[in-house]
Amino acid sequence: MAEPTPAPKPSPLHTNSPSETQKAEPASPTPLRCFTGAFIAGGLGYALYLLTRSIAEVFANKPLPTGNYVATNIAVAVRTLVVGMSTLGTAIFGISAVGLIALGIQLLIKQLRQPS
């Protein structure tokens, strides 16, 4: 009995090139890449810092609803979550920038200690 779904025969035009079968190795970090990444992360962190500061000022200048106890609690929770998430993003990008700078310095020292 024949197979209900026969396997397709490989086309002679389609051959597996070495690039398709082998996984590409990740690029090794260089001081230039580290400092470039730190510059980008620091810029995004600073932008998020300015955004966080602006959000906090807007929330500080607008009064909370005082008519209902539940509405006041929800408003406080929403304000806390918004400022907290913005602060978290700022901290993540800031710590990333500091770590990339430290890695770049470490790689520079390693390059200077190696004999040519």
Phi, psi for residue 3 in degrees, rounded to 5: -70, 140
User: Is 4 contained in some domain?
Assistant: no
Return the pLDDT at 23: 74
pLDDT at 20 over 80: no
Q: How many domains does the chain have?
A: 1
pLDDT tens sequence across 57-72: 999 998 887 888 998 8
Q: Which residue has the higher pLDDT, 11 or 99?
A: 99
**Residue 79: domain span:** 30-113
Contact between 90 and 45 (Cβ < 8 Å):
yes
- Sign (positive or negative) of CA dihedral 92, 94, 99, 100: positive
- pLDDT-based confidence at residue 32 (cuts at 50, 70, 90): very high
User: Is 47 contained in some domain?
Assistant: yes
